A and B are shown apart, each in its own frame.
Chain A
């Protein structure tokens, strides 16, 4: 089945999800073109209601809310995507290694992962940040490592199933090296569950980094970021001003969009397997 045929058969919920994702990606890439003002320019009074000049009003310093949201999309989504990519590279490589090499490699990595997973993620991240201080490289490495443990579990389980197949045996007899077997034999066959997991992990990383930023320990101002925008504007809610709800809603909508597509994808791949 080609990609286009598959898209035509997709249910309405998955289409809504895809539209949300594509919209966010477009905003992310075209941020400087779409945004009416520069990222950190003060354009008016504090917490002004929406008007022709400021479609969504202004924030706690009088910056244009729409502009901040657009740049926030770029900063938050880019960092979340980057973290997910690193966590997948690390997690999948370790998982495949553990499944193909077995023995003590598997034991050592698996026990380390067990210990990291026995510890609540948010608390772990907070403790590391308290020691190393908050900066974007530290954030990326800490969250990627914490997240790669989940990817590792899945990649190892999937690769274990593939590793016993005849074509792996054939490749081994042919004298292929470990790296070749992992990349050319295991990876293509492990792709469908890993892609679905990528969506779920992205949601998790995205919500996690938003939560950290909301706590004031993630991406630091004046960089526009959805989580910290909620934090900075939180005071407005007690005056009945809805400004902090916009970035929070943006986070929720993107997460729902990705979840809808992942749901459909999981459904698809389970159907493919049963046929």
Chain B
């Protein structure tokens, strides 16, 4: 088991280094602004005294490395500073929205993962049949569609024609779980369709890859039933790529929500990020970007560790 722990520890270390470098990049990116934040916010007409006072307030008069560490330190304590646009603390803006984003991504994951893995396995088992071909064409077109195209088609059908679901997913804290689910039905369906296509294609490829290996042929030749071959021989060996696919798509989900949130005016972190980029509210962009990056790197890390753990060769070292 020693190799296992050291691999995981090395991977964790790499993840931490990546996050640190990303945070430095984000910080330096803002440093590289022509002029500085104070001038950018106050505009051309501000007097030098006002700019100087504002710089003091933003602690822009300290040297860069001091500001980087104090920025990172307060970020880790959950203090993200205040928004330039409305002066409210960023933590208040972000907390609720981030939980909304996770709610949407979570429901989508709950629906799409079992479906995608199941259909992917079926497509691999009945490969080159009509069922497999229609799935393959369906997924190829779903991958080629921009998310907003899928979203507006769904709005045109379910919201305008059938009036089943709202086209704007406004959710509030006073709503019950059922009301919330009804409100997010369409964005959830959009994301499900987009993510499922990726997951199904990759699951199918992973299973087919395993099914062509000699030990599967051997198991068949021994006279084992298909059911036993699939469940006991093929599935455990395809588990590592499948877990990888699932977690990578979860990471994709967290980022993919940005466009979908904008389409459905959903009060999530992605919507906030896009608004802040348009307003050039840089502290909010920094904070929400860093949260997205943390989630993304964390999920990628989980994918790597899980696939290491599910690899039979690494689980039973010589």
Q: Does B51 contact A (CB under 8 A)?
A: no
CB distance A122 to B141 under 8 Å? no
* Cα of A207 to Cα of B148 in the assembled complex, Å: 11
CB distance A256 to B140 under 8 Å? yes
| Stretch of A65-73, A100-108, A168-176, A236-244 at the chain-chain interface | A236-244
CB distance B296 to A119 under 8 Å? yes
CB distance A126 to B148 under 8 Å? no
Q: Does A252 contact B (CB under 8 A)?
A: yes
CB distance B140 to A259 under 8 Å? yes
| Shortest distance from the beta carbon of A203 to any chain B beta carbon, whole Å | 7
CB distance A245 to B273 under 8 Å? no
CB distance A131 to B33 under 8 Å? yes
Q: Does A215 contact B (CB under 8 A)?
A: yes
| Shortest distance from the beta carbon of B254 to any chain A beta carbon, whole Å | 8
A-B CB pair tally, cutoff 8 Å: 123
CB distance A123 to B143 under 8 Å? no
* Cα of A8 to Cα of B75 in the assembled complex, Å: 61
Q: Which residues of B contact A118 (CB under 8 A)?
A: 18, 22, 296-297, 300
Chain B 265-278, CB-CB to A under 8 Å as 1, else 0, gives 00000000110111
Q: Which residues of B contact A215 (CB under 8 A)?
A: 258-259, 262, 274
Chain A 226-270, CB-CB to B under 8 Å as 1, else 0, gives 010010001001111010110011011001100110010000000
* Cα of A128 to Cα of B156 in the assembled complex, Å: 34
Q: Does A272 contact B (CB under 8 A)?
A: no
CB distance B293 to A130 under 8 Å? no
CB distance A216 to B278 under 8 Å? yes
Q: Does B149 contact A (CB under 8 A)?
A: yes
| Shortest distance from the beta carbon of B194 to any chain A beta carbon, whole Å | 11
**Nearest residue, chain B, Cβ from A111:** B21
| Shortest distance from the beta carbon of A141 to any chain B beta carbon, whole Å | 14
| Shortest distance from the beta carbon of B201 to any chain A beta carbon, whole Å | 12
**Nearest residue, chain A, Cβ from B281:** A130
* Cα of A179 to Cα of B33 in the assembled complex, Å: 36
Q: Does B111 contact A (CB under 8 A)?
A: no
One of A131, A227, A255 near B144 (C-beta < 8 A)? A255
Q: Does A188 contact B (CB under 8 A)?
A: no
Q: Does B73 contact A (CB under 8 A)?
A: no
**Nearest residue, chain B, Cβ from A256:** B144
* Cα of A248 to Cα of B277 in the assembled complex, Å: 24
Q: Does B146 contact A (CB under 8 A)?
A: yes
For A115, A127, A203, A234, the residue with the greatest tally of chain B CB atoms inside 10 Å of its CB is A127
CB distance A130 to B282 under 8 Å? yes
* Cα of A217 to Cα of B280 in the assembled complex, Å: 11
CB distance A217 to B278 under 8 Å? yes
Q: Does A120 contact B (CB under 8 A)?
A: yes
CB distance A238 to B167 under 8 Å? yes
* Cα of A251 to Cα of B254 in the assembled complex, Å: 23
**Nearest residue, chain B, Cβ from A231:** B148
**Contact (A130, B276) CB under 8 Å given A214-B146, A245-B153:** yes
CB distance A217 to B274 under 8 Å? yes
**What are the 9 closest A-B residue pairs judged by CB atoms, nearest first?**
A248-B149, A255-B144, A120-B255, A130-B277, A256-B144, A130-B285, A252-B145, A118-B18, A127-B289
27 A–B contacts from the bound complex (CB under 8 Å): A118-B296, A118-B300, A119-B293, A120-B255, A121-B255, A123-B273, A123-B289, A123-B296, A127-B26, A127-B286, A211-B147, A214-B146, A214-B259, A215-B274, A230-B152, A234-B152, A237-B160, A238-B155, A238-B160, A238-B167, A240-B161, A245-B156, A251-B149, A252-B149, A255-B145, A259-B140, A259-B143
List 10 additional contacts besides A119-B297, A120-B292, A248-B149; criterion CB under 8 Å. Answer: A118-B18, A118-B22, A210-B146, A215-B262, A234-B152, A238-B155, A240-B160, A245-B153, A256-B141, A263-B140
